[in-house]
Structure 1
Amino acid sequence: MDLRNFDKESKSEYSSNQKLRARLRKVKPKALDERFAELHEKAFREINCLDCANCCKTTSPIFLNTDIDRLAKGFRMKSSAFIEEYLHRDEEGDFVLNSSPCTFLGADNKCLVYEDRPKACREYPHTNRKKMHGILELSLKNTLVCPAVFKIFQQIGDDYRK
């Protein structure tokens, strides 16, 4: 996957995707959830996250206390030491990584803490969950990060852009 082309194309389509997001708010919740789930499955049959890892290279997940405790245990450190070494609080007060790309991203794009990864990483990019209406803004932002989300927006746009 050519991330330079993805970056350029996703930015050029962002305004159009903003308008689409507004239209999607008017779609019945169950129908929207079903369409996103369908397109999510289709996108991930075609896109391999290990070919990209753009999410791990450019953004940080939010670390919940349970994530911190689990990872700290895996590293045989206290949670406070894990926080001190790897995390800081962002402007919303959430724990996030000190730097990107992710400290735990291997050279082969594999997660070095995959079994213990944060909940946000386990659920990313969130396009196959219920109540998509509640995360349309997040999904729109993720069109700039994840080629699969961008593709989903492009395909769902075929349904709802007019």
Structure 2
Amino acid sequence: MHIENFKTQSKSEFQKNKKLLPKLKNLKGKVLDVLFENAHDEQFKKINCLNCANCCKTTSPIFIQTDIERLAKVFKMKPSGFVDTYLNLDEDGDYVLKSSPCPFLNEDNTCLVYEERPKACREYPHTNRKNMHGILNLTLRNTLVCPAVFEIFQDFEKDFRK
């Protein structure tokens, strides 16, 4: 799916995806985690992030202190210099990028700091983690950013319709 088509389609399907949340929230125990993990594995057999990088182009990860320290070393900077150069504090008190796209995104959609990237980048789109119940609202928002998350919700909607 071309990124512009994805953006249009994900916006038009957002309300339908939102209606799926109560059904997902009703799944008990680890059932939801396993459901998402399996769907995650299936989608990432088909989707190559390097063809998209929409997450890197449109959103910022949260940078925790260990991310800041690790990346400051990469750039031979003090952590405070890294923060001053690249980050802002958001309304929640989290460090996020000052600008988008990510300043570490190369033209070919690879990451300049891939081996040292922030924890949030390593874990994105968070669809193969434990306790999916706790991040369902974030995951719904990610249907607007990540084609894989969007497709996971599309598949779930078909499954729950049966």
Compute the TM-score of the two structures, normalised by the length of structure 1: 0.97
CA–CA separation in structure 2 for the residues paired with 1:29 and 1:12: 31
CA–CA separation in structure 2 for the residues paired with 1:84 and 1:2: 35
Instruction: Tell me the residue number matched to 1:56.
Output: 56
RMSD: 0.9
CA–CA separation in structure 1 for the residues paired with 2:151 and 2:57: 19
Instruction: Tell me the residue number matched to 1:92.
Output: 92
Q: Deviations over 1:6-43 (max 9, x none)?
A: 00000001001111012111111311111111010000
Q: Secondary structure at the match of 1:37?
A: helix
How many percent of aligned residue pairs carry the same amino acid?
64
Asked if 1:33 corresponds to 2:47, the answer is: no
5+ residue gaps, structure 1: none
Q: Deviations over 1:56-101 (max 9, x none)?
A: 0000000000000000011110000000000000111100000000
CA–CA separation in structure 1 for the residues paired with 2:161 and 2:88: 40
CA–CA separation in structure 2 for the residues paired with 1:32 and 1:10: 22
CA–CA separation in structure 1 for the residues paired with 2:8 and 2:102: 22
User: Contact 1:61 / 1:118 at 8 angstroms: preserved in 2?
Assistant: yes
User: Contact 1:68 / 1:82 at 8 angstroms: preserved in 2?
Assistant: yes
Q: Give the Å deviation of 1:157.
A: 1.6
Distance 1:91 1:161, change over 3 A: farther
Asked if 1:120 corresponds to 2:112, the answer is: no
Equivalences for 1:69-108 in 2 at 5 Å? 69-108=69-108
Q: Give the Å deviation of 1:158.
A: 1.9
Q: Secondary structure at the match of 1:129?
A: coil
Q: Give the Å deviation of 1:155.
A: 0.8
5+ residue gaps, structure 2: none
Equivalences for 1:8-23 in 2 at 5 Å? 8-23=8-23
Q: Secondary structure at the match of 1:96?
A: strand
CA–CA separation in structure 2 for the residues paired with 1:71 and 1:64: 11
Instruction: Tell me the residue number matched to 2:141.
Output: 141
Q: Secondary structure at the match of 2:144?
A: coil
Instruction: Tell me the residue number matched to 1:157.
Output: 157
Q: Give the Å deviation of 1:161.
A: 3.8
Instruction: Tell me the residue number matched to 1:68.
Output: 68
Q: Deviations over 1:100-140 (max 9, x none)?
A: 00000000000000011000000000000111111000000
Runs of 4+ in 1 over 3 A off after TM superposition: none
CA–CA separation in structure 2 for the residues paired with 1:29 and 1:6: 32
User: Contact 1:55 / 1:145 at 8 angstroms: preserved in 2?
Assistant: yes
User: Contact 1:20 / 1:161 at 8 angstroms: preserved in 2?
Assistant: no
* One-letter amino acid of the counterpart of residue 18, structure 1: K
Q: Give the Å deviation of 1:160.
A: 2.1
